[in-house]
Amino acid sequence: MIGGTISANFVIQAMTFATSVLTARLLGPIGRGELALVLLYPQLVAGVAFLGVDRAIAILGGRGDLRSPLASITKLALLFSAPAIVAGYIAVIWRVTDPHLAELSIMYLAYVPATYFFTLAVNLFNGTGDFYRFSAARLWFYGCNLFLVLTIWLVASERFLDWIVVANLVTAYSAFFVALRLIRRRFPRSGRAGSLNRGEARAVVSLSLVFALPVMLYNVSNSAYQVLLEHWMGVEPLGLFVVYFAYSRLLAPLGSAIGFHVFHIGITGKSVDMSRMHRQSLLIYLVCSVPLWLLADWLIPFVFGRGFVGNTGATALLFASCIFAFSADSMAEFLRGRQQVRADINGRLIYLAVLGTLGSALILPLGLFGLALAMAGGDVLRSVYLVNCVGRETSQEKGEFWRVSRRDVVELFNRGKGMLQGLLARR
């Protein structure tokens, strides 16, 4: 099951990477930074305002407590969209000073209702263990976005930034209709008139409050480096760093696939050796990261364009950061599945404290290297903290999570060999 999710995630990552390459080549460093700024505050505010509704949907859906999932998801998406759009508008007016970029950012707020619905649907499939529909919906989303950006590349001759923002909006509503169709097929009775159970929506909102603070901190921590960069250095360094960050996260399919399944394990309460899973995940991340880092100075300008000059120190730190970030994320997913969010909250606060303190102090004297150093420090401390929390939760010795053995290497090799043989057999 996890093999299929990993395969889908690699396809998604390939499409995401291709989209980011096309976008960077169309816009250049300055334009890429402008796009990041246009999307920054709508996405940040929408993520924060959604509280933990997506997590609550996954848990209640996984338990079979939702009799009318389509009706409940629709109501929740509409309920949370209005305050998110208002808050997003205020944030854009406050923070984006360029009139044209502010106009595009305000227009982009229209993506919120469609994205909320899509996010709830995907999390419902994850919670119920329907990883086929879970992967299919996400594949459509990223495939549609790639197709539209490629069309812009081939057809448009100017105003690329405007067209890319429009493409993101169209992608959101296309994904909404696909998610709607998948839910109707999976839960055919849930779309009948009068099927809305108000108690279900209230139960989701009530449970979401458990996840509200960690979800808010998650969205803030994901956007914090962009806020710092835009504030201290402007859009061109932001455009460069966004590309470096995207390159360093090429292993995200592995991290997210592991996280999705660990979250499901936490929900169901299955007995799993979390220390072994953590050790083997670290091995995979490390082995895959080293060659990507060694090629970074040549590959980044070659792929993204000559304007995106490589930065050896910053990319090295970003790859180190990603290894510990993925480690921390999977541990946090396990704890979320068990509705134990205090550790996740503390972990995010540790990361933000380190990033805010070191980032603000180092970004001007050291530039992008200083910001990458701050991110790496925050991710390392957060990872160590969450591993210790999972060790206590599972009654496993903390050292076992880091003590990689020869057996781990052999098991990983045999598992990878088996997956490869399975793929070849299908062909």
The pLDDT confidence band at residue 88, using thresholds 50, 70 and 90, is very high
For residue 380, count other CB atoms closer than 10 A to its CB: 20
pLDDT at residue 191 tops 50: no
Which whole number is the average pLDDT over 208-216?
Answer: 83
Which residues neighbour 27 within 8 Å (Cβ) at sequence distance 6 or greater?
Answer: 34, 35, 160, 161, 164, 239
pLDDT at residue 427 tops 60: no
Determine the structural domain holding residue 421 and report its residue range: 2-426
Retrieve residue 425's tokens.
């057999």
Q: What pLDDT score does 82 carry?
A: 93
pLDDT at residue 424 tops 70: no
Number of domains present in the structure of the chain = 1
Which whole number is the average pLDDT over 49-74?
Answer: 84
Any idea which residue has 């990983």 for tokens? 412
For residue 321, count other CB atoms closer than 10 A to its CB: 23
Q: Indicate the SS3 state at residue 340.
A: coil
Which whole number is the average pLDDT over 83-88?
Answer: 95
Q: What pLDDT score does 192 carry?
A: 46
Percent of the chain with pLDDT over 70: 90
Instruction: Choose between 342 and 86: higher pLDDT.
Output: 86
For residues 348 and 336, give the distance between their C-alpha atoms in angstroms, rounded to a whole number.
Answer: 13
pLDDT at residue 161 tops 90: yes
For residue 255, count other CB atoms closer than 10 A to its CB: 23
Q: What pLDDT score does 260 carry?
A: 67
For residues 48 and 62, give the distance between their C-alpha atoms in angstroms, rounded to a whole number.
Answer: 24
For residues 241 and 373, give the distance between their C-alpha atoms in angstroms, rounded to a whole number.
Answer: 13
Retrieve residue 272's tokens.
């799993």
Which whole number is the average pLDDT over 320-330?
Answer: 90
The pLDDT confidence band at residue 5, using thresholds 50, 70 and 90, is low
Q: What pLDDT score does 332 carry?
A: 87
Which residues neighbour 67 within 8 Å (Cβ) at sequence distance 6 or greater?
Answer: 190, 195, 197, 200
For residues 33 and 97, give the distance between their C-alpha atoms in angstroms, rounded to a whole number.
Answer: 14
For residues 53 and 59, give the distance between their C-alpha atoms in angstroms, rounded to a whole number.
Answer: 10
Instruction: Choose between 404 and 44: higher pLDDT.
Output: 44
Angle at 328 between CA 277 and CA 390, to 5 degrees: 60
Q: What pLDDT score does 198 carry?
A: 61
